[in-house]
Structure 1
Amino acid sequence: MDPGDVEYEPVSVKAVLAEMKDTAELLIDLSYSAVLHGSDDIAEEVLALEERMDVLQLQARMSLLMAARTPDDAEALAPVLGVVGAAEKISDAAGDIAKIVLEDIGLPDAMRAALPEAVETVVRGTVASDSPYTGKTLADINMETETGVRVIAIRRQGDWITNPDHGTILEASDVVLLRGLEEGLNTVFHEMAGVPYEPPAIPEPTIEDLERAVDSIVLMKNMSELAVDLAYGAVLFDSEGVAEEVSELEAEVDALESRFEAWTLRAASRVEDPISLRGLMHLAGATEVISDAALEISEGVLRGLDTHPVVAAAVEESDEIIARFTVGQGSQLANATLGDKMVRTETGMRVIAVRRPDGGEWVVSPGPTTRLSPDDVIIAKGTRAAAEQLSELAGDAQSFHE
């Protein structure tokens, strides 16, 4: 049998779905980072992960087909198949973005000039045999606390660890993906790989219409990523309100793509080589697919179908969890802004939405000036340790895995 063949074997659907969620989110990060750095190495990692996602989605589909024995089973599992298919679409879109780099389709300099503000820096490096990190756990290294840099994935002899935790040991020759600010990356990369980190050169933008096209793509990317986060939140909390926000974001991305096309066509007459804009067109198309996939993840909730427990459990057990908190009376967050309490800096949690009390309006993608009130509901994304810290700030004694 070909080693690439996939046969049915009993697997935990919950574990497969959790890995698919982690892998899909990692693929979004890596694909845009490959564009930012013009990095063939990171783009190759995207394609390797895309192959892993192909296997995961086949395993998930086979297991779900085996589990559907009655019409009621089919109705309950149909939204789960939607989640599986959507994660696969995100994977394919990320692969298309990576191929912009690998196939030299071409991107204007304005793209790389704009992306540093839109993308958290992701760097790929190999653990040197004489690195002080070799043989140590992530808890021993305490990298995230001391430098703000986080290990988001490890490739070891062809196998991926997409959810490294405090007990994960770094080994010589591990390929490690790091995310963080440049200052911290300088330190960590040098300690890990034994060579200095060299950030990409950032060119100056030139053509106004092209800058506007690039701005549209950056906004599309940010909205698509937010839509994916909110979609998983809608599934986890069976929230029609959050699912409706995903639908609004998807419609906004569609409108942005139309504006992007107009700016790009106007810019084409002013660039020396219009063919160099092909990469932008590919990038916009792939980004729009990601927002469509987010809508598919939340579609079951929008249609009034109950979330299958296995999906909610998988979201809870994934690498970066989505948590919900209620701002308590007299808590540190009550009547304070997110910036006042430096929520993201102090806890590492990213607040992706706030719902006002008594079924009030949703504030999507709140910023540092967003003021919180008692009984506001916060939906945030981050690690379990970070969620515990935010729970304390919010004064929410309930488990954040509700």
Structure 2
Amino acid sequence: MTNYEFLAPAMFGGVLLFLVMGYPTAFSLGGVAMLFTLIGMALNVFDPILWSAMPQQIFGIMNNFTLLAIPYFIFLGSMLEKSGIAEDLLETMGILLGRLRGGLAIAVVVVGTLLAATTGVVAATVVAMGLISMPTMLRYGYNHQLTAGVIAASGTLGQIIPPSVVLVVLGDRLGISVGDLFVGALIPGLLVSTAFILQVWLVAWWRPDMAPALPPEVRNVPYLGSQVLRVMVPPLLLIVLVLGSIFLGIATPTEAGALGCVGAIVLAALRNRLNWSALRGAADVTLRTTSMVIFILIGSRAFSLVFRGLGGERMVEDALLNTPGGTVGFLIISLLVVFLLGFFIDFFEIVFIVVPLLVPIAEQLGVNLIWFGILLGANIQTSFLTPPFGFALFYLRGVAPPEMKTSDIYRGVVPFIIMQLIVLVALFAFPELVTFLPSLLGN
């Protein structure tokens, strides 16, 4: 085996190459696994009997109750978006804060936080926020860079704020309770949202022309109080119901997600927005995203099986355990690798390919896996914003009007990246920001 140690790194590099070339993730993982199975057999360094474990792996995925939460949370967020409730939230919050300089941008962060607590998928949140809020902000004289930056940054909050689909998958891969991960992510998620609001406030204070208040004829709406109660209170109650049932241990994330789906349908019906088009659109998004995740998971199991059979897992473990700096060195290198991979591949691929390689080492070093998971989530959220390859930038570019230049988007996100990094460093330096609430609840 010593003469063929290059096979495992080559296998990993082959997957990254196919992903960068744009091939579907599941087929890239499965295809590379089959290719290196044949190469390993030809070189007599891989035992094909290992593939006999694959059917049991697939049945294990099908029987995983935790993963059932994924379609529920996707449907919940999609239903709120398709029924127009998300748009009403932004409009009402914008009017409520419109008399403040930067109030509309702050409203985008607040609504982005609320959408993150329902949708949990970055692409959906960035696109929705871009379509809903960008024309309004530009119409009322907001600076292009600030507009692009606050929308892109707010859209990535779905990575870290529970109940996030990303956290569901990450909890499953880390082998820890998704509910514990949700509880641990609450303070970091709110810290990131607060940092974004602080950034907007600083810009509005330093350069008032970049974030003007809304004109009086727009913000002076009759019966604003009743509109706020009618538009904002029901979704907030739904979020509190879903998260509260998880945090208090009344329901599992899967059960809470199912409850949230029913609640979203009821809210749409109460607003006279429940129709076949909205239901079909939400179901279509749910089906596509869930199918993608499951097929990626099956492909990743095949990849992991062959990678392990070629000795790749042992090589990674030996390299990271001997990292200078011990635990701190391991964490820094892990975060750096995940950050760089976040430029080229989606979080789901990172979770399914890289995280299983890091978990055994983290356990040996005594790293708290809840803290480790939140660090990974916050880290990948940063890479999603970072030019020139950040996924959130591409999503926003796809829905931005022609007058919004790509350079405006790139420059606009830089201050928010700095805020994100400050929070990430704080989480790294003070693990209690993550572990406090889970310990308080006895987890």
Common fold: TM-score over 0.5: no
Superposition TM-score, scaled by structure 1 size: 0.32
- Say which one has the larger Rg: 2
Q: Bigger relative contact order, structure 1 or 2, given CA contacts below 8 A and separation 6+? A: 2
Give the structure with the higher percent helix: 2
Superposition TM-score, scaled by structure 2 size: 0.30
Give the structure with the higher percent strand: 1
